[in-house]
Amino acid sequence: MTRTDERYFRRVRIYSAIELCVFTALLTVWIGGLDDGAKTVLGWTHGFGWILLCVLVFEGCRRRVFPWPVLAATVSPLGPLGSTAAIEYVARRVR
């Protein structure tokens, strides 16, 4: 893996973890029946963030930074949880 690919991998890995935090916050607000405004903001943030994550992972797969199953995990119903788990699996396997 080239240095550029390593940087791309690291940045998408961090972005996936951040998107997982947004998703977790959204679930907490939704399940807890908390503020509707927060639910709306987190929902939109997660929605657009997840789409961007899918695009970033697709580009990484196309460039052979990620194996294609990472994209499958990203677009699965698990969303950012699936992508983060798959990326962490790849990171541990590469070591």
What's the number of domains the chain is made of? 1
Handedness of CA 67, 13, 93, 5 (dihedral sign): positive
Q: Which domain holds residue 51?
A: 3-94
What is the pLDDT at residue 2? 87
Write out pLDDT tens, residues 17-66. Answer: 999 999 999 999 999 999 999 999 999 999 999 999 999 999 999 999 99
User: Is the separation of the CB atoms in 56 and 15 below 8 Å?
Assistant: yes
Indicate the pTM of the whole model.
Answer: 0.91
Closest to 12 (Cα-Cα) out of 47, 45, 48, 61:
61
User: What's the rounded Cα separation, in Å, for the pair 35 and 39?
Assistant: 6
Token digits for 63?
Answer: 């460039």
What is the pLDDT at residue 65? 95
